[in-house]
Amino acid sequence: MRKINAIIIHHSASHWGDGPEIVRWHTAPRPKGNGWKVPGYHVVIGNQYPNYSSYSARKPVAGADGKVYRLVSEETVANGCYGANAHSLHVCLIGNIDLTEPTAQQYLKLWDLVKHWVTKYSLDYTANVHGHGEMVRRLMNAGKPNAGPKSCPGKFFGYTGSLIQSSGEVYEKLTNAWLRIKGVPQV
Ligand SMILES: [Zn+2]
């Protein structure tokens, strides 16, 4: 089993999308995509708009909100954070979370996934679970060149004004031990 020491959380910075769309954006040749060999994330968690037509019509698609897409095996090194991929797992929430909050279903599925990975790989919530922007800052503070998106997974991630209140222990740990103590940007 690959050694894992970081779970890195992202947003797509798009209003819509799904797993296959993310794979296209990351692996299609430039200029259509990023031209990467491997997509950036192991897992994508959808919002209510899996494609452009549903978003442009503001018509939520049944079953899309909180849908979990596995893009690559956990044994595969994905491409989500330059300089920190070899021992990382990446998960991305669909949405521009600099502008809107994740959905309640996305939080629930994210908490489930993070809890699963923390247990499976014997990790610690405070030491091993990071936002992408937080990881970029850590790398830069360590003198490593990096220029990643500093707000990822978005300014509204962990917004305490209207977070759901009933997802139990993992939610408490993440909101208390991680979002607050570690200073993930709050609005
Ligand atoms: Zn990111």
**pTM given for the model:** 0.87
Nearest to 179 by CA among 116, 121, 126: 126
Distance 168 CA to ligand 1 centre (A): 26
Distance 95 CA to ligand 1 centre (A): 12
Q: Are 160 and 18 in contact (CB under 8 A)?
A: no
pLDDT band at 170; cut points 50, 70, 90: very low
Confidence (pLDDT) at 123: 93
Rounded distance, CA 66 to CA 6, Å?
23
DSSP state of 149: -
Rounded distance, CA 149 to CA 134, Å?
9
Residue 183 above 60 pLDDT?
A: no
Rounded distance, CA 162 to CA 77, Å?
35
Distance 78 CA to ligand 1 centre (A): 12
pLDDT band at 166; cut points 50, 70, 90: very low
Distance 92 CA to ligand 1 centre (A): 7
CATH 3.20.20.370 fits 6-180, yes or no: no
Q: Copy the structure tokens of residue 51.
A: 């494609």
Distance 124 CA to ligand 1 centre (A): 21
Distance 98 CA to ligand 1 centre (A): 12
> Who wins on pLDDT, 167 or 50?
50
Confidence (pLDDT) at 141: 87
Going from N- to C-terminal start, the domains of the chain cover 6-180
What percent of the chain is modeled with pLDDT above 70?
84
